[in-house]
Amino acid sequence: MATKQRSSSAALLRYLGVRLALVVPTVLILVTLVFFLMRVIGDPISAKLGGQLTPDELERRREAAGYNRPIFVQYFEYLGNVVQGDFGTASKDNRKILDVVLTNGAATVELVCWSLIIAFLVGIPLGRLAARYHDRLADVTIRFFAVLVYAAPVFFLGLVLKLIFGAHGLGILPTSMRVSRTTELALADLGYDSHFMIVDALRSGQWVYISDVLKHAILPAVALGLMEAGIFIRLIRINLLETLRTDYVVAARARGVAERRVVSKHAFRNALIPVVTVMGMEIALMLCGAILTETTFEWPGLGYALSQYLLARDFVAVQGIVTAIALLVAVISFLIDVINALVDPRVRY
Amino acid sequence: MAFSKKFAAALAVAATAGLVLSACGNSKHEDTETTTPPAADETAAAETTPATGDEAGDETEAAGGDETLTGAAKVLADAGVATPVALTIQYNPDHYGDASAEEYGAIKEQLEETGLFTVTLNSTEWVTYSQERIANYSIYQLGWFPDYPDADNYLSVFFSKDNFLGNKFDEPAVQALIDEQRVTTDEAARAELISQLQSLVAEYLPTLPLLQGRQVAVIGTNVNEPPVLDASFQFRFANIQKDNDPTAVVKVGTTDMVTSLDPAGSYDNGSYLVQTNVYPMVLSFAPGNPVPTPELAESCEFSEDGATYTCKIKDGLKWANGNTLDANDVKFTFDRQLTIADPEGPSSLLGSLDSVTVPDPLTVEFHLNAPNDVTWEQILASPVGPVVDDEVFSATELTPDADIVAANAFAGAYTIKTWKINEVAEFTPNPDYAGVQGTPQNGGIIMTYYKESSNMRLNIESGEDDVAWRSLTATDIASLESSDAVEVVYGPGGEIRYIVFNVETMPGDTPEQKLAIRQAIAMSIDRDELSEVVYAGTYSPLCSYVPEGLPGANTAVCDLYNQ
Amino acid sequence: MTSPAPVLLEATNLSVSFQTDGPPVRAVKRVSFEVRKGEILAIVGESGSGKTVSSRAMVGLLPRTARIEGEARIDQTELIGLHGEAIRRVRGDRIAMIFQEPSTALDPVRTAGWQICEALLSHQNISRKEAMARAVELLDLVGIPDPEIRVHSYPHQLSGGQKQRVMIAMAISCDPEVIIADEPTTALDVTVQAQILDLLHDLRERLGTAIILITHNMGVVADMADRVAVMFRGELVEQGTAEQIFNDPQHPYTKHLLGSVPRLGGARPATMDAVAAPPVEAELALSVRHLDVFFPGRIGSPPVKAVKDVSLELHRHEILALVGESGSGKTTLGRCAVGLQLPTGGELTVLGQELRGIRPAALRALRRRLAFVFQDPASSLNPRMSVADCISEPMRVHRTGTKAEREARVAELLDAVELPSDYANRYPHELSGGQRQRVSLARALVMDPELLVADEPTSALDVSVQAKVLEVFVRLQHQMGFACLFITHDLAVVDLLADRIAVMRSGELVELGSREEVLRNPQQQYTKDLIEAVPIPDPVVQKARRDVRRGKA
């Protein structure tokens, strides 16, 4: 029945279609929630300038900005603006929120990607080793390491790394910013402005720039990535132990499949399924949670921007950034669904 | 009020006056640690009429066996104030730097050491703090950075009736002196008036000056020309040079964030720093000279009745984008400041300006509300003064940074090539600039904005940056002082730190008692300790209201209370 | 018969013990057996008898904690002590295995073809393309339709029988000399079981492969085995040809085992036939009219119709057996009867109460008169509650009886299910499977229910244990007189206890009648197939039935 196969890929498409369709209401709900929650605190002008201006002046400004109109009118206007990509302007530094979201968002995404690479490089082999030497010295050591890196506050780890590799220690790695100023300005001069430093550096094709970007990424990525690695180690270890006990692993051994292959092609592949799901949530958390790393290493990311605007009571900016994060999280969870469907055929029913 | 209840309670406990130390124990003497010499009695407070000192005297006798009351204890006893006086002091933990908590901790210790006070410290987050302070705080911390470097900016704003402190201080004699110095164009006469004014205020103590800032820059050893840090309190790029190379690009780091490139939308150190280097002013400060000098203007003068200030603008000036720069730009600049009146902007400085007229493109007339206002020249050189391009900027609303940079609407010593707000900015020398800052001695400036001063410190040490400008912590500066890789340069600072008293709501039953408490507090404070222990010398003691370095400065407060 | 074929696989004095925190546990004690070319050796025993452990010991598939002694040889190769590459070469190539649960023994994220190819590529020096072609051939050989399409299917896209066929295809892929089939049909429906057994039979004849068939099902043994080895508590207690074992068992355990096996069409044991209160025809415990139960499908797919237009009645004091294969809707119907599942359409009257639109309070009151026994006692008893707490829980939930009364009731019920009274203070994990199921039964009966739904209450139990539980069950039903909806797939059990039988298939009611009518004179082809597929624990009868089936084919 050829139709069966065709319907299988059709099922995958339908599955992804449904997931994609679910993103829209999710985002809408999030945006709505953010809007109304922020308004519970008050309109942005009262929130920022209340107490600094006379009530009359405050009222005049509120009126000028349209905050005295019915809340639903404002809500639909906001929705309309968001749809057009207009998140408003921050009063703290007069930046367009969209610009903040794009540049700082790119910085955060880049940081998260680097740290995921570290997390994978460290977490996967160690998790596999720990499962393989279950309850033996290697396992115990690795588990201890996992708890240690997970429990160590990111900024503490960051400070230690800065001490070791920074100007006061070995002095071999930069300890702040995404890239050195000269490189940043040179890339800007070349007209590369994708907001992703490594992309810009690669486009320039110049090794000086690429290595500069990579060097800057190392310490923040390690600081944040090790914490993630701690989670991955434990996740992979526990899931691998689980799958190593399954019938299909015994069955694979029984048909003479080499042990190495049994572990990597059967046990590990299946152990990854729950890891992917958790990873999705982790990434979402990291988007805001990277703030400590961002602060420690002067990484101009979204979390950092959010905290600054919060401190300045700039609620237009906060609202815009939170909306953007909600969007990102929705997109990431969609991507995780896609990966899940690719890894686990049972998902695409 | 809650406060008077507290005070009543303090009265009820009525002063187990404890060990009484003289106010001199906190003065600048070498023998701070030793017990009080009885001779340290010649204070202004001591001259006040000895009143109901008896019961306080009995108390101290029991405690210390010393029959002669001195200093703060005597002042309080004379006014009939029961000790210890319960004080609640408010401060903000970060708005005036991270060391505020330490500073006020030290103040609490100094006050309580006398046995005359019990101090409760309250720290409140800034927004609430600024909203609450007038209505609810009776003794609280504030800091001040002048709008323009002139004594008036340290006096009229604080001690006039209905001043911005809102502390109910109202003394006609003080007000009269304030008004008089403002229109005294003779410099020497004015300096004398200012000195008198400070001495008079010192007797009332509506605020207690504590410390004066110092400008601190850290430079790499390859920097052969450091920035000029003078009483203009401006950071100018032009004279900085490294490697003796006039084409070398100098990298500067700072933590002072920028709000906006538009002078109408910002009133803070970070924004002003950029604006002084990219916009011209009618009057500006030449390096090393704290008196405003014509820049766009060829000459300026008051009209005979003193109500109009007329400036002749130089001919043939251009903006970096080629637009004409003339009197119309000047009028446009000040008109739009008044029109926009952004709450984040400096338009409040233009209170003395009535209107601006342009009789011809090279002449601009400022019509003032009060004749011969000597502060007007200062205001022209203040953050409200940067002149903007009337063909680029909007007359009615703030102009976005991106538009300004794209239009190259600059005519200062530098233009901006790359602008990533609060991350990085690249400045290129403006070849057409002929203003008072002089020809740039470097090939450009790369400005890096740090969120964490610790990172700025690491980068000045590693040589990634050539100059580190505000603000490194006192500890960092102290340790950088001993580093071979860098050098620390200082200049007088305009920033002052002080305590505000609400003269109505503060502790004390009568105005006399309140004054006595203020004086006793003044006597109990040791500024040297604050300067050295808390701030490692990055702030120096402030002994009066006008900081050292400005005409008319004296040491009235220390003279009265800390001898 | 011709002269005996050469011995292929031989185990001599094989012992296995497991290291534990305490003293080592001896799972297999000095077991010796052999299997010859083309022969089917059945190793029979109940759970824990060591039959699986001894077979896995030979191919080194036991965990690290196992210690193996003795010898096991295939041809001249000694297997015990081989490890790494040496044992890998044996596995799959010379000795292949088939497992009990095909849905867990196949890697869920790999296609059928991928897994077959993996087996081939592990032992043969062929290209992936060749391997794929061979996989298609193999799928065809094991009787999977459209093999060139199915080869790309993931396990979840295959039915249980198809999955087991894929397992078999994998097992025979490298022409092994011996196949160890460990309970290969236990997880399958009877009709599928029959097909798989036929397939194995067929393969043995066509390929001459020796098969070690590990099973607890005497019917399967009778159907398949040439020789039988009976294991009991780690020891091999008896060995012989199938005829010998079935007709003239020597060891008391073998006799007991054979005596416990319920036989379809066999006489009811006396204990089961005690005079029951005759069903009261007039009073209905349960009345179902045109019942539909639909479950919403995932977005974009139609609803799943679990029960379609079913009508049946259950009288008071009657046992109605609900029979069907997996997915027939019998469990859903059972859940409806106790109000655990609300129907989509039709009428459902339980103990005189219409359940559709019933108020929650009324439903709660009704539930006191209903009870449900689950299939798996291990998961339906709360491991943190003592037996007494488990049993008296419904009383506490419904707030009936004082503490003393509850204790008395627990004692009474423990006695009724023939457990010692001191078991009241034990915890579920301290009990055996059969004991646990008796506790479940006691719990179900604690409120004196008028209607009991028992969902496969004995399928997880060994036969000898099952016999005991069923005996207790029937006695109690006779004593207490509750109406019972007994859900099962096992026709032999049905024959033991049911008054009437309802046969379900794909949510529909196929046939409904008295036990005699349905089992002795089925009207529907499906019922006939079902009965036909049940292996009878008698080699002679089974051989005759198989021949008939073959003749038909």
Q: Is the pLDDT of residue B500 over 90?
A: yes
Contact A300 B462 (CB under 8 A): no
Do the chains contact at B446 and A304, CB–CB below 8 Å? Answer: no
How many CB atoms neighbour CB C227 within 10 A? 20
Residue B130 sits at the chain A interface (C-beta within 8 Å): yes
- Cross-chain Cβ contact A185/B446 below 8 Å: yes
Q: Count contacts between A and B (CB, < 8 Å).
A: 79
pLDDT given at position B45: 42
Element (H, E) at B301: strand B297-302
Whether B422 and A94 lie within 8 Å, measured CB to CB: no
Q: Spell out which residues of chain A touch residue C106, defining contact as CB-CB under 8 Å.
A: 248, 251
- What residues in C contact A2, CB-CB < 8 Å? 149
Task: Name the band, by pLDDT with cuts 50, 70 and 90, for residue A337.
Answer: confident
Establish if A137 touches chain C: CB-CB under 8 angstroms.
no
User: Both tokens of residue C141?
Assistant: 């050989």
Q: Do A185 and B450 touch (CB under 8 A)?
A: no
Give partners of C (≥3 CB pairs < 8 A).
Answer: A
Residues in B closer than 8 angstroms to A91, CB to CB, are 344
Closest Cβ–Cβ partner in A52, A96, A181 for B251: A181
Give the closest of A93, A189, A295 to B452, CB-based. A295
Q: Are A210 and A198 in contact (CB under 8 A)?
A: yes
> Is A266 near chain C, with CB under 8 Å?
yes
Structure tokens at A142: 């690795």
What average pLDDT does range A76-92 have in this prediction?
Answer: 84
Beta bridge partners of B123: B91
DSSP B14: T
Q: Which residues of A touch B455 (CB under 8 A)?
A: 175-176, 297-298
CA A87, CA A322: separation in Å to the nearest integer? 11
Q: Can you tell me the mean pLDDT for B7-27?
A: 34
Chain A residue with minimal CA distance to C145? A1
Contact at CB, A251 and C167, closer than 8 angstroms = yes
Q: A273 vs C93: CB contact, 8 Å cut-off?
A: no
| Confidence class for position B372, pLDDT limits 50, 70, 90 | confident
- H or E, element range at C477: helix C463-480
pLDDT in tens, B360-371: 999 999 999 988
Tell me the average pLDDT across B315-337.
Answer: 95
On the question of pLDDT at A168 being above 60, the answer is: yes
* Residue B118 · residue B69 · CB < 8 Å: no
Write down the pLDDT at residue C178.
Answer: 92
Question: Which H helix or E strand runs over B559?
Answer: helix B556-561
Give the neighbours of chain B: at least 3 Cβ pairs within 8 Å.
A
How much is the pLDDT for B323? 95
> What pLDDT score does A291 carry?
80
Residues 463..492 of B with a Cβ closer than 8 Å to A: which?
464
Query: B128 or B154, which is more confident?
Result: B154
Q: C105 to chain A: which residues are within 8 Å by CB?
A: 247-248, 250-251
DSSP secondary structure string for all residues of B500-562: EE-TTTSS-SSHHHHHHHHHHHHHH--HHHIIIIITTTSEEE--SSSPTTSTT---HHHHHH-
The verdict on A255 touching C (C-beta cutoff 8 Å) is yes
Write the pLDDT tens digit of every residue in B261-310.
999 999 888 999 999 999 999 999 999 887 889 999 999 999 988 899 99
CB contact A14 to C (< 8 Å) = yes
Query: Given strand C370-373, what is the order of strands in its sheet?
Result: C370-373, C451-455, C483-488, C319-324, C500-505, C508-514
Rounded to the nearest angstrom, the minimum Cα separation between A335 and chain C is: 19
pLDDT digits (tens, 9 = 90+) for A204-232: 889 999 999 999 999 999 998 988 899 89
DSSP string of A334-345? Answer: HHHHHHHHHH-T
CB-CB contact of C316 with C276 (8 Å): no
Calculate mean pLDDT across residues A148-164: 86
Tokens read off for C511:
């046939």
Q: Is the Cβ pair C122, A257 closer than 8 Å?
A: yes
For residue C421, the 8-state DSSP code is G
Please report the pLDDT score of residue B137 as a whole number. Answer: 93
Query: Is the model's pLDDT at B147 over the cut of 90?
Result: no
Nearest CA in chain A to C57: A254
User: Does the structure show a pLDDT above 70 at B16?
Assistant: no
pLDDT tens, residue by residue, C221-271: 998 999 999 999 889 999 999 989 998 899 999 998 888 888 777 666 655
Task: Indicate the DSSP class of residue B228.
Answer: P
Please state whether at least 3 CB pairs lie below 8 Å between chains B and C.
no
A18: nearest CB among C85, C146, C299 = C299
Which residues of chain C fall short of a pLDDT of 70?
A: 1-3, 266-282, 298-300, 551-553
Whether the upstream peptide bond of residue B146 has omega within 30° of 0, thus cis, is no
Q: How confident is the model at residue A52 (pLDDT cuts 50, 70, 90)?
A: low
Mutate to test the interface with C, among A9, A135, A242, A255 (most CBs of C within 10 A): A255
C533 in Cβ contact with C223 (< 8 Å)? no
Task: Give pLDDT, residue B34.
Answer: 37
Decide if pLDDT at B463 tops 50: yes
Per CB-CB distance under 8 Å, the chain C contacts of A18 are: 299-300
Minimal Cβ distance to A256: which of C88, C101, C111: C88
Whether residues C97 and A18 touch (CB distance < 8 A) is answered with no
Which residue type, as a one-letter code, is found at position C209? T
Strands annotated E in chain A: none
Please enumerate residues of A whose Cβ is less than 8 A from a Cβ of B.
49-53, 89, 91-96, 103, 162, 166-168, 171, 174-177, 180-182, 184-185, 188-189, 295-298, 300, 304, 308, 313
* Residue of higher predicted confidence among B213 and A64: B213
Distance from CA of B259 to the nearest CA of A (A): 4
Judging contacts by C-beta atoms under 8 Å, the chain C residues touching residue A139 are none
Residue A13: other Cβ atoms inside 10 A: 10
CB atoms within 10 A of CB C525: 10
- Nearest-CA neighbor of C172 among C215, C208, C213? C208
* pLDDT tens profile B468-483: 998 888 888 988 998 8
Residue with tokens 């997996």: C326
Name all chains with 3 or more CB-CB pairs below 8 Å to chain A: B, C
Q: Is the pLDDT of residue B15 over 70?
A: no
Segment B177-203 shows an average pLDDT of: 91
How far out from the chain centre does Cα C88 lie?
31
Compute the count of residue pairs across chains A and C with CB atoms less than 8 Å apart.
100
pLDDT digits (tens, 9 = 90+) for B502-545: 999 999 999 999 999 999 999 999 999 999 888 888 899 999 99
E strand or H helix that includes residue B416: strand B414-420
> C316 - beta bridge partners?
C280
Q: Is the Cβ pair B459, A176 closer than 8 Å?
A: yes
- pLDDT confidence bin for B387, thresholds 50/70/90: very high
What residue of C is the nearest CA neighbor of A247?
A: C105
Identity of the residue numbered B127: V
| pLDDT score, position C2 | 53
Q: Which among A93, A96, A181 has CB closest to B424? A: A181
**A 271-300 → C contacts, CB under 8 A:** 273
- pTM, two decimal places: 0.75
Handedness of CA B300, B301, B302, B304 (dihedral sign): negative
Closest CB to B422: pick one of A50, A93, A181: A93
- What single string gives the DSSP state of each residue in A103-171? HHHHHHHHHHHHHHHHHHHHHHHHHHHHHHTTTSHHHHHHHHHHHHHHHS-HHHHHHHHHHHHSTTTT-
Cross-chain residue pair A92–B259, CB shorter than 8 Å: yes
CA C467/CA C459 separation, integer angstroms: 11
Q: A255 and C170: CB-CB below 8 Å?
A: yes
Residue B319: its pLDDT value, please? 96
